[in-house]
Amino acid sequence: MENKAHAIAAGLFVLLLGFALAATVAWFQGDRTERVHYTVVSRSGVTGLNLKAPVKLRGVEVGHVEGIGFDPTDARQILVDIAVDVAAPVSTSAYAQLGLQGVTGLSFVALEEADAEAPFKRAEPGARIALRPTLLDRLAESGPNLVAGFAETATRLNAVLSDDNRAQLGEALVQLRQAAGDTSRLMAALQPAARELPGLLKDADAATQRADAALRRVEALAADGQQLAQDLKARAAMLDRLEAAAAQVQATSRNLELALVGDTPPRTRPLLSDISAASRSVERAANEVGEQPQSLLFGRGARPPGPGETGFEQRQKTGTK
């Protein structure tokens, strides 16, 4: 009996020790972190996502997946229940994506900020977070369209590279080679002219300067001509006044001669004759200036030779006056 009692006591001790060890392990392995629950809503698949899959916020693990199921109100949606550390800064603009855990094929939930510069506002517990497709998901969705596009491109490329088009392309390449050779020869022929071009530009610059100087001289001559025209106009007006004065003097002298010819004393008659001669001289001078106004500037020209003078016969033959 005593041996059996010792055996029972040893067995109970071992059992109690095992329970204590299990409780200790459970105590150390238990998760006592306070969690906040959010719901990730997906309109596409969640391939590779399992329960207890990690949840990361901008690369930092902040929780895990606690449940995956279909939305009872909309069967096209998948609801993923996640538990996140209460201290994790999940904002109202956060969105979720699926990330791959290495090469295992398993996925995790990655939370990202839609607008990192916007003022931070914490999401309420139980809020729904949209799941956005990743780049690989978009490529996978557009894969059939890409394949169809590549097939169409290949078909068109085969049509472009037909035998006739290849022959025409070869001819075009030959003509292009000939054109390149012609261009090289033309450039070689133009090189001497290009070397002479700086000299021609210098000559053109000098000619431009000479033309500018000539233009300034022409402008100066035009200004002088305008001044000369004004002087001639003034002298012509003076000649008109002189002619009018001469006509008035002549008329006055004739009136005096007619008035005094009958009863003028003999001693005043020479004076009247002198006045009449003076008026006729003034009249002749006015007539000559009117016929040759340039004589005021350049002087009177030489009088033509009369009968018996040298050059008279030559003037008669040529008919000059």
User: pLDDT tens digits for 93-147?
Assistant: 899 989 888 777 888 999 988 887 888 888 898 899 999 888 777 776 676 777 7
pTM: 0.40
* Strands, E assignment, the chain: 35-42, 54-57, 60-70, 78-85, 94-100, 107-113, 128-130
Average pLDDT (50-69) is 91
pLDDT value at position 213?
A: 84
Taking alpha carbons only, the member of 108, 106, 39 closest to residue 71 is 39
> Between residues 51 and 8, which one has the greater pLDDT?
51
Q: Could you state, in order of their start, the residue ranges of all structural domains in the chain? A: 35-133, 236-299
Per the listing, tokens 């001639």 go with 232
Q: What tokens were used for 243?
A: 């002619």
The fraction of the chain above a pLDDT of 90, given in percent, is 11
Per the listing, tokens 């369209």 go with 145
Contact status, residue 76 vs residue 86, Cβ threshold 8 Å: no
Per the listing, tokens 């035009």 go with 222
Alpha-carbon distance of 84 to 67, in angstroms, equals 13
Q: pLDDT, tens digit, for every residue of 267-302?
A: 555 555 666 666 666 666 666 656 665 555 555 555
Hey, is 117 helix, strand or coil? coil
Give CA 59 to chain center in angstroms.
46
The amino acid occupying position 295 is S
Give CA 61 to chain center in angstroms.
52
